[in-house]
Structures are given as C-alpha cells and as structure tokens.
Amino acid sequence: MALSDRKKQILKAVVDDYVQTAEPVGSRAVVARLKTNVSSATVRNEMADLERMGYLEQPHTSAGRVPSHLGYRLYVDELMNQYSVVPTEIDQFVSTLSLRMGELDRLITEAGRMVSELTNHPAIAVSPTMEEEAVRRFEVIQVDAETVVLVLVTTSDIIKNRICHLTFPLSDLEVTAANRALNAHFTNIPLEDLTDERITAAECGAGADITELLVAAIDFASDVLNTVMRRDIYLEGASQILKYPEFHDPGKAMALLDCLSDRNALSLLPVPDDKNPVQIRIGSENGTAPLDNASIIMTSFHTARGAKGLLGVVGPTRMDYAKVAARLCHFAEELNHLLNHDTRR
C-alpha cells in the first residue's frame, strides 16, 4: 500500500528525531518537526497506521516509536534530505592524506582511519585489485655484495619490498643484468606464467649467473600477487561503535566487529557498481546476526591503473544516512583524485 504524503512526512520526522536523540519518538516531537499544522491526535493515529504497516516499531517500555528496517529503507530511498558537504569538513583530511602518498596498502588503511574520524563510525576499507593482477615493474637495489633489496610495483600500484640475502656475491653488472631480465621477462604477465622455464630463458638471455636472484625475485612476486588478489579488508576506528547506545553491550559490539574483521567479510558487503555508486544496506537486509542490527554504506575508488577498491562505514540502523553517505562519497572522490593525479606515480 502506497503511503500518503502526510504519513511519509511523519515517518521522516520520526527517523530524523530518532537519529539525533536515540530515544523513542512521541507524537509531540513529531508535531514540533512538521511544517504543516496537524494535531497530536492525528499524528498518533498516523503513527499507529505506520506501525501496523511495518514502518515503525514500539519498544515495550515506551509510548514512543522507532523506525523499523523497512522504515529506514523508505527513508533512504525517498525521504532523506540531500546533504551538502562543506569543503572545510574534508579538506584537512585530504591534505593530510596527500602528504602520505606512498605504498598503496598503507594509504588505504590511512584513508579508512580518516573516514572513521570524518563520519564517527567504524570504517571498512578494501584494497584495490584488478581482474588480472601482475607485476608492472621490478627493481633490484644492491646493499652489499651478497645482499639486495627487491622492490616491485603491481599493476594496481601496490609497492612491496623484501631484503634478499644471497649465497654468493654479485657484481654491479650482474645486478644490472638481473634488473633488465626481470623487467623484460616477468612484468605484465599472469601469475601462472611465472615459471621455471621462463627463469631459465631469462638467465640465458642475460648472459650472467643470476639464477638465485631471479628465483628469489619470482618467489617474492608470487607471494605478493597471491596476497593482493585475495584482497585485504581493513577495519579502522572500531571503538567508534561503542559511542552508540545500540552497541554499549561490548559483546554485541565485538560480535559485529569480529564479523567484519577478516577477508570472509568481503562476501557480506554490498558492492557498488556503475548504476549504484553508493550502496546502503539496512539491518535485516544484511542477513543474519550480528549484521541484522547494523547498517553498511559502501562506495568505491579506483587507481590510475583501473584497480577498484571499496570504502565504507558500519554503524547502527539509527544512522544519519544523508550526512554519512555524502561525506563518504566526497572523501572517495578526493581519494580518486589523489590516486589518479599523483605526479610521482
């Protein structure tokens, strides 16, 4: 059954008041928020109808009402006001983030921490990856005759390094030959093509005894690519959840946070796409406990190479959806700008 305009405005008033107060909302509070001249008796009757229709719920200990998950969904889809982000709300975070451009995985964790501070909710950050990840560039840096630092950059701009201790000394010419061979034979190819046969061919082409170094570099690359393609999920600002009355019970809070703290949580997250760049999943839409009493807002970001990552927040269903979604999206846009216009990449 379609709701009348008056019922929609009453539902909106209940959600807006409950988001601010965390207390069940009575008819007087609704009347104070409505712009039309309507009596408390009329509002009570309309709220009773909204409860029967499943948009409101009445806690046993209160005469007031709170939104149901269905009520929040209608609010998000049709009723919430557009929140206009003031640039100063985010400028400080972005300027700080721009100073820390470096290894992408570290940047993502820092972005998650800033989103948590910006929205006052725990933030979820998922590292970007491409459909087919590969090594874009190798670099071998000699420390001494028998020690080198292996550095690689993936196609999604993740930078990793590893110290390698060799069993025999290398000359400057051999280090140069290894650099040339790695970048000529082992970049921009799928993980399954990093084979022993390719290592043998690369060494023959290099004209130097660099097998040990090549094997070490390819083992390192395989470890990195396997890790990157699994994707990492970071939960930042977890303690923010304890600010909300709904999660004052530490056990309830920990159950939610534990659920979102490992890679298995990826399958539980709403994934934005081109048609829906912001995904909001409310309460029971998340499935079973402990996510059925929480809401998740997710958006995406991408690197200059086209790898896609996710950024979002989790919190109680009593969330200021308009403000949180607007700040999250604006931050993701600024992150995209940094990742795609950083002149050092």
The verdict on pTM exceeding 0.75 is no
d(CA 205, CA 253): 58
What dihedral angle (degrees, nearest 10) is formed by the CA atoms of 81, 86, 87, 89? -100
- At 345 the pLDDT is 39
Which one, of 98, 105, 78, lies nearest residue 230 by Cα?
Answer: 105
- Residue 344: pLDDT over 50: no
- At 262 the pLDDT is 75
Contact indicator for 214, 202 with CB cutoff of 8 Å = yes
- Report the DSSP beta bridge partners of residue 299: 311
* Helix (H), strand (E) counts: the chain: 11, 10
- pLDDT-derived band of residue 343, with 50, 70 and 90 as boundaries? very low
- Strands 308-316, 123-129: parallel, antiparallel or unpaired by DSSP? antiparallel
Instruction: Give the type of residue at 191.
Output: L
Distance of CA 98 to the CA centre of its chain: 18
DSSP E strand boundaries for the chain: 56-57, 66-67, 123-129, 135-144, 147-154, 159-165, 233-236, 279-282, 294-302, 308-316
d(CA 206, CA 189): 19
pLDDT tens digits for 106-164? 788 888 999 999 999 999 999 887 767 899 999 999 999 899 999 999 987 889 999 99
Percent of the chain having pLDDT more than 70? Answer: 92
d(CA 139, CA 149): 8
Percent of the chain having pLDDT more than 90? Answer: 61
The top-level CATH class assigned to 135-230 is alpha beta
Collapsing DSSP states into helix, strand and coil, what is residue 10? helix
- pLDDT-derived band of residue 59, with 50, 70 and 90 as boundaries? confident
Asked whether this chain's domains 88-130+231-341 and 135-230 adopt the same fold, the reply is: no
The dotted CATH code for 88-130+231-341 is 3.30.450.40
Collapsing DSSP states into helix, strand and coil, what is residue 164? strand
Domain boundaries, the chain: 5-79, 88-130+231-341, 135-230
Residues whose CB falls within 8 Å of the CB of residue 286, separated by 6 or more in sequence, listed in order: 268, 292, 294, 295, 296
- Report the DSSP beta bridge partners of residue 119: none
pLDDT tens digits for 261-298? 877 787 889 989 888 899 999 999 998 889 999 999 99
Which residue did the predictor score with more confidence, 198 or 96? 198
d(CA 68, CA 242): 21
End-to-end CA distance of the chain: 55
- At 36 the pLDDT is 83
Q: Per CATH, which fold does 5-79 belong to? A: Arc Repressor Mutant, subunit A (1.10.10)
Which one, of 106, 104, 223, lies nearest residue 164 by Cα?
Answer: 223
Which one, of 323, 322, 329, lies nearest residue 300 by Cα?
Answer: 329
